[in-house]
Chain A
């Protein structure tokens, strides 16, 4: 029993069950590939088989003569040829005039079966005239580089995507010149495939009034709706996007899903029938965007006592043939490039370029894993050079409460980095292991232990407007229905919202039902990205529930004939001054009798921030999360094999709302970071992706990921719901550099390129077969996803 105005938390931060887990463990949850809609047709794309070409001739009419084919479309079927993209409009829903990467969709065919659609695709007449292609990002801005990007009016090189993203403090060159120790290092981080286990798929159903309902496993249904309305020439009111259960995304199901959505929606409108497109794994790998590859150079200056003084950083991001969200990736990378340290001066410049290597977009971490790999290894190397323990060196320099960041932002609250680092040191037995492993002499296998720290700006920051809405209502059966414009693609946010609503309303979570994200019922809350859901969406949900709670409290006070401040809650029940409990349902009934409307909505906007792009100064994010990870490895010095033995991860994520979910995010992020570090290799050879399925793109298995010890430092953030910050992206960010630093500790050698595969550990360089022994195109084959058809079943 607790007083109404100062209740301790009942549901938030307590063990809870994921609201959608039961459907998932029983196999009942429906993903796009599981939908069986009467009359459903199947769509498939013609995709480019060359990295760069002009479309000289494109005729889909032969496809229409193929038995079973109902319709075929090209860019001509969309408004403005289907041009879309944010922040740069440079991509078409189907290629227009040119193709810029292998796998780019050129036309789409719909038929009775996927096989008939494929036969239709093969009948399309498509003549491509090869153009010179660009594969080396470091040459992209050369005057004679082949032009991949669209023409620019501002005189900049057309292969530059957006702008240079800069961060400046003081005179970095002068400061570096004055430093007794300067390290100058180059790093490379590879592309990474999201490898969600559910390949892409979209289902579109035409509506009687000439619109379309699209079931799309996208992260951000409202962006999809906006794109669809734009390219189909429909008012938004005729375009409804529903997010079904999503089988993983990690940043990966935005643009590629919008594109497929436009294709199937158009085909559904043309045929008047439901149309679905589902990718095979190979199609997913070839067609979808990846994490960008990044070439980095970092110069780090310090005093002999380990005090960091200056950071100079240059990053070139290869984000392939289209921009997708990568100009924002470049911005986030620039903000985090120098790591979570204090400096006298810094000079950061990161930019994206066009190439014909597939294309890159959002991926968990969004630029930070790349730069963290560089800065955290360089800091470690500096510690080695100066003979200072790597944790001590970090403790000496890392951001603390009250510090000003290099960007010029004063950190006034919720800076838990020191506690993360000291906790990780203690629970990993760092000091003993660090000393012991330093004495190894084996020439066979050696152990190493390494650390990396990180910070990560919360939510969108200066990328754009940052607000969300939520709704809540009590239904006739006394259940509570909630909606949010921010979605759950496996992250657990439906449970987070449920717990917050339960907490505020004072009802059991079982009473609450969260609707599927649906543009018809939810409030546009911006994109579900940047680990912003718990904070921005959670605050909106909290406000919505509080508004409803106030209405109920008013009714309860009226019923119990007291002042609302005299009310006490016992479980769901209300208790007045006469100490008799009244059931929540009775209060709801009374509120209805009073004529009160039992629904509410909440809207929350993030605190104002400001970033000066021209001077590279300002407040880039409202606040930061922090974390430290320690990896222990065993390196086989004679084969290059690396075993990660354990990872300790301590993250300051503010108040934890849904503990199981938060730990799940932590472990899962670390597993992705481990794959990024060691096994996940993407090779674009002459523009052709060489890894098109899971036998060659190696994500970690259960015997590759070690036991993980996770600890949360709950450094409350005043603007977060209950003090919450976030965890989704940050979990992945420091894993690869922690492993790299552990490998360096074990071997005495640094690997500055990802992935740290067998060859790089053993030889210090990667080995690739020459084109003469293995043609680049050998791997390029996209099988059709299996045959959906329904046959009568005789049960005996």
Chain B
């Protein structure tokens, strides 16, 4: 007796119909890299997987008007290989690149990474940093939800049974904006993020920070932009001291939100480093003296 059944959808409408068929408890399957590990250890809470990995509308990356549209079933490899994203979403491309193993990068999808709701998901801070909307379809129609609002906590999302993330959109960043993604893992490839951060920013003509977003991952139970840190940066001129202060502020925001946990002693120090470094990269400041290029 199989643990679950399988159905393949070739259009979004078909997927929605399959996912909302009242005779089955269904769940979407895209890359499967998280799902197949879960069913190895726990009895599935669904009866059927609806394969959405071949729906053409969910597989493409495109520029539409002033925004970028990324299908939810686009793999990490496809993110990395997209010239459009390399130009407009460097932080997302870098996050995809740091997955490490090609086999996982060729299989895992952005929609799966978000939908799974893991606190350490590398794809999520860049999406939040890009102010991305997740477009969710169900039998009632489509709704657009900011990615940050979709994630309620570790492995908790606002997605309901029958929902399907079809794609993400984000507005093009203002010209001249740069974005970066940094990660700390215990190993150089295939490592769960101990901490990560996506940062985007732009300087005004007179050299002041006029646009900045700072989104640490694995820092808070519920991922969000650190607007407290962004506010202290806006209008300032880039400096090492400023970015260190911003990093320290990010740590304070984290500790204030989570309290001192077992991992705080480490994360408080490392997050400061990660945030200040990401800011330096975004604003093209040299790393401090004495460092070897690596």
Contacts and interface: CB of A to CB of B under 8 A. Distances in A.
Q: Do chains A and B touch in the complex (CB under 8 A)?
A: yes
Interface of A: 440-447, 634, 636, 638-641, 643, 679, 695, 698, 700-704, 757-759, 762-763, 767-770, 773, 781, 783
Interface centre among B189, B289, B290, B294 (most CB of A within 10 A): B290
A47 to B, nearest CB: 16
Given A763-B265, A767-B262, A679 B186 contact: yes
A695 B292 CA distance: 31
A638 B247 CA distance: 12
Contacts of A769: 262-263
Given A679-B187, A758-B186, A639 B294 contact: no
22 contacts: A444-B277, A444-B290, A444-B291, A445-B287, A446-B290, A447-B292, A636-B273, A638-B272, A643-B294, A679-B186, A695-B37, A698-B191, A701-B100, A701-B187, A701-B188, A703-B189, A704-B188, A757-B186, A758-B270, A767-B263, A769-B263, A781-B41
A634 B294 contact: yes
B194 to A, nearest CB: 6
A441 B186 contact: no
B269 interface: yes
B219 interface: no
A770 B188 CA distance: 27
A442 B290 contact: yes
B274 interface: yes
Contacts of B294: 445, 634, 643
Given A638-B273, A781-B41, A783-B40, A763 B188 contact: no
Nearest to B292: A447
Interface string B132-151: 00000000000000000000
A441 B290 CA distance: 6
A773 B262 CA distance: 9
A441 to B, nearest CB: 5
Nearest first, the 8 closest Cβ-Cβ pairs linking A and B are A442-B290, A638-B273, A703-B188, A701-B189, A441-B290, A442-B291, A639-B270, A698-B187
Contact of B291 (A445, A768, A783): A445
B253 interface: no
Contacts of B37: 695
A443 B288 contact: yes
Interface string B244-280: 0000000000000000011101100110111001000
A700 B188 CA distance: 8
B192 interface: yes
Nearest to A700: B187
Nearest to B290: A442
Contact of A770 (B187, B191, B262, B287): B262
Contact of A762 (B188, B270, B289): B270
B152 interface: no
A430 to B, nearest CB: 17
Contacts of B172: none
Contacts of B57: none
Interface in B95-109: 100-101
A638 B270 contact: yes
B288 to A, nearest CB: 5
Contacts of B265: 759, 763, 767
A783 B41 CA distance: 7
Interface centre among A638, A700, A703 (most CB of B within 10 A): A638
Interface string B217-245: 00000000000000000000000000000
Given A763-B265, A767-B263, 13 more contacts: A442-B288, A445-B294, A447-B292, A638-B269, A679-B187, A703-B100, A757-B186, A759-B265, A759-B266, A762-B269, A762-B270, A767-B262, A768-B262
Contacts of B274: 639
Contacts of B290: 440-442, 444, 446
B206 to A, nearest CB: 29
A698 B192 CA distance: 11
Contacts of A634: 292, 294
Interface string B36-72: 0100110000000000000000000000000000000
A180 B262 CA distance: 42
Nearest to A696: B192
B287 A444 contact: yes
Given A638-B270, A638-B273, A442 B289 contact: yes
A525 B192 CA distance: 46
Interface of B: 37, 40-41, 100-101, 184, 186-192, 194, 261-263, 265-266, 269-270, 272-274, 277, 287-292, 294
A756 to B, nearest CB: 11
Nearest to A784: B40
Contacts of A447: 292
Interface centre among A444, A634, A695 (most CB of B within 10 A): A444
Contacts of B192: 695
Contacts of B191: 698
A768 B100 CA distance: 26
Nearest to B247: A638
A613 to B, nearest CB: 42
Given A762-B269, A769-B262, A639 B184 contact: yes
Nearest to A447: B292
A759 B184 CA distance: 12
A768 B265 CA distance: 11
B43 to A, nearest CB: 11
Given A445-B292, A447-B292, A767-B265, A758 B194 contact: yes
Given A695-B192, A781-B41, A441 B289 contact: yes
Contacts of B186: 679, 698, 757-758
B277 to A, nearest CB: 8
A695 B288 CA distance: 34
A61 B291 CA distance: 68
Interface centre among B100, B186, B194 (most CB of A within 10 A): B186
B144 to A, nearest CB: 33
A757 B184 CA distance: 12
A445 B277 CA distance: 12
A641 B184 contact: yes
Contacts of B269: 638, 762-763
A441 B37 CA distance: 45
Nearest to B274: A639
A78 to B, nearest CB: 32
B273 A639 contact: yes
A446 B186 CA distance: 18
Contacts of A442: 287-291
Contacts of B189: 701-704
A267 B270 CA distance: 54
A505 B14 CA distance: 72
Contacts of A702: 189
Contacts of A763: 265-266, 269
Nearest to B270: A639
Contacts of A445: 287, 291-292, 294
A635 B191 CA distance: 18
B14 to A, nearest CB: 26
A640 B270 contact: yes
Contacts of A643: 188, 294
Contacts of A757: 186
Contacts of B194: 758
A447 B290 CA distance: 10
B187 A704 contact: yes
Contacts of B262: 767-770, 773
Nearest to A759: B266
B216 to A, nearest CB: 13
Interface centre among A700, A757, A758, A770 (most CB of B within 10 A): A758
Interface centre among B101, B269, B291, B294 (most CB of A within 10 A): B291
Nearest to B188: A703
Contact of B266 (A695, A700, A767): A767
A278 to B, nearest CB: 16
A698 B100 CA distance: 14
B141 to A, nearest CB: 38
Contacts of A698: 186-187, 191
